[in-house]
Structure 1
Amino acid sequence: MTPALRRALEDAIRHACGTRCVIEQFSAGPASAFGKTWLANGNGARWFVKTTAATGQSRLHCEAKGLGAIAATGTIRTPSVIALGAAEDSAFLVLEYLPMHTPTRDDGPRCAEALAALHACHGDRYGWPEDNYIGTTPQVNAWSDDWPRFFAEQRLAPHLRAAAEKGYRGELQSCGERVLSKIGAFFLERRPQASLIHGDLWAGNLGVMDTGEPVVFDPAAYYGDREADFAMSELFGGLPESFYATYRKRAPLADGYAQRCTLYNLYHMLNHLNLFGAGYLRQAERMARELSNYLRQ
């Protein structure tokens, strides 16, 4: 951390918390693929700090907006936003520090209840007041009254184009194009409500405090089908079975969810392919092929 960045962080935290606050220590936080994280201590308090190149300031701004919108529902805890700022060639986001652990079987039901309550917060249309990010990838959120079209044009299509530009063509593109052109077939008997969703709800973005209170962070928030959140939670190891059983009881999923789960997670797999490379190609191809074959039935 450069001296200029440290001074800017200290000034921002002092301004937010009071002039008598003194930052006594900065230490490196958990590893991140999208920047650096830090723990800041002072006057018996602790803050979680994210830093990135100045070009990432918009991403941190969108993260803060998403956290604020979720927090405003009163349904599930998020780290409070303390400060946003920049110094020299760096941008930073200062958050409330919340000690958390990975959800256990005993935590699952409370996490599911909180998520279902969040998903019961509805908007009039699909989208978000501004474009934001999924990881470091821009996520378009233009308002729409047509969910299948929204998901095809603003989620899958941009990632398929990006994949083609990176040389991932062939079956991924041919199957992907079929899915885009016939996406309405996955929603013949379902018009989902526009729920406020986290948008990037894999297991690593959900924690539990020692009090048992669930916490979500690193959102890519927008109004969409709540099943998209539920589906992503099943990726990359998933959450305890008690979470899934409780959520399904609290907010039952409609017929055809198995296919829509693959559809929604194809978006995230394509994003990982574009961000991290060919290690995700086979899984993306498998998912696109599975959806394409379903449409041939």
Structure 2
Amino acid sequence: MEHSSTLSAELAKALKTASGIDFSGAELRAIGGGCIHRALEVRAGGGRYFLKLNDASTLPMFEAEVDGLTALGACDAFRVPRSLAWGATEDEAFLLLEHIEMRPLADAGDGQRFAEALVELHRDSGEHFGWTRDNFIGANPQSNTQDDGWAHFFVNHRLIPQLKMARATGYAGAIGREADHLLERVPALFLDYRPRPSLLHGDLWNGNAAMDVQGRPVIFDPAVYRGDRDADLAMSELFGGFPSAFYATYRTAWPLAEGYEQRKTLYNLYHVLNHLNLFGRGYLGQAERMIRALYFELRR
């Protein structure tokens, strides 16, 4: 896809058809930070917008994102960017979002407000684990076939697909029998722990969390499904960046059950395997260590 300082006539026409906004002569500013889509701040028709672009074949990713943002926005715990238009031309898929002025979480007050919002989101629970449609975790597909059993869901729709991808890529020797034995033992982690199917962001690292200029928590770039709330908390710890007050506030409002540290490693294994499949061998050692630690812990 060509990168230019103006929108193509075809794209501007498609955006106008989808949104009713005239994008001819729009002012564009490239926004960095994403590793999947091209992102632009766009000024047009007297408004300011956030525009994501990619090849036309990626439209299902944008459709899944709209679905996830809609689900998160319906809970009203966080400020979530509104989806204004999406579609595709012959060459480009696009997603037009509300533009929100944001900043990173910076202090205890931010951490407290973000935790309070996350507790409210997680209290939105359903009847089944999974989601009404499949979506994506980064650029990889994420299966969300609904299931009544959390351990069964996590093994079959989180770990097994990632392990299959890793082995198909050439990591079969490194991620071998210990991983298979681990899958057999995962249900042992949930003999005395029955999580509810909470609404999850699904990819809650610090790059997908912020505060708006009014001090309201913001989340975006979701990989939504219903699952154990600990999975969101575990992901928030994987790469750091959340104030300590976030964890203290969350645990005070809704204490975690015993065994969280083991579950955290299991849940983050999914994301580390996904990073291995997306970005390569740099994540292999971390994945192997996590598999080995869980395997030996659960064989006791």
| Fold in common (TM above 0.5) | yes
The alignment status of 1:257 with 2:260, answered yes or no, reads yes
Q: In structure 2, what is the Cα distance between the partners aligned to 1:60 and 1:5?
A: 19
The counterpart of 2:162, out of the listed 159, 163, 174, is: 159
Counterpart amino acid of 1:54?
A: A
Moved more, 132-141 or 172-181: 172-181
How many Å apart are 1:8 and its aligned residue?
4.5
Aligned to 1:99: 101
2:28 aligned residue: 26
**1:10/1:157 Cα in 2 relative to 1: closer, same or farther (>3 Å)?**
same
Count of residue correspondences: 297
Query: Which of 178, 188, 191 is the aligned partner of 2:191?
Result: 188
DSSP 3-state at the match of 2:176: helix
Give the match for residue 89 of structure 1.
Answer: 91
- Superposition map of 1:1-297 within 5 A: 1=3, 6-11=8-13, 13-15=15-17, 18=20, 24-105=26-107, 106-297=109-300
Aligned partners of 2:280 and 2:151: how far apart in 1?
Answer: 27
4+ residue runs over 6 A deviation: none
Mapped contact 2:272–2:286 kept (Cα < 8 A): yes
Separation in 2 of the partners of 1:275 and 1:17?
33
**Structure 2: which amino acid aligns with 1:236?**
F
What is the CA–CA distance in structure 2 between the aligned matches of 1:8 and 1:73, rounded to whole Å? 36
**Equivalent residue of 1:211, what SS?**
coil
Q: What SS does structure 1 have at the residue aligned with 2:39? A: strand
Point out the more displaced range, 39-48 or 68-77. 39-48
Which stretches in structure 2 are left out of the alignment for 5+ residues? none
Aligned residues: CA RMSD: 1.8
| Unmatched runs of 5 consecutive residues or more in structure 1 | none
> Does structure 2 conserve the Cα–Cα contact (< 8 Å) formed by 1:29 and 1:38?
yes
Query: Structure 2 vs 1, CA of residues 27 and 68 (structure 1 numbering), >3 Å: closer, same or farther?
Result: same
Distance 1:194 1:245 in 2: 23
When structure 1 is superposed on structure 2, of 271-280 and 37-46 the one drifting more is 37-46
Q: How far does residue 31 in structure 1 lie from its aligned partner after superposition?
A: 3.6
CA–CA separation in structure 1 for the residues paired with 2:11 and 2:103: 27
With over 3 angstroms needed to count, the CA separation of the structure-2 counterparts of 1:110 and 1:296, relative to structure 1, is same
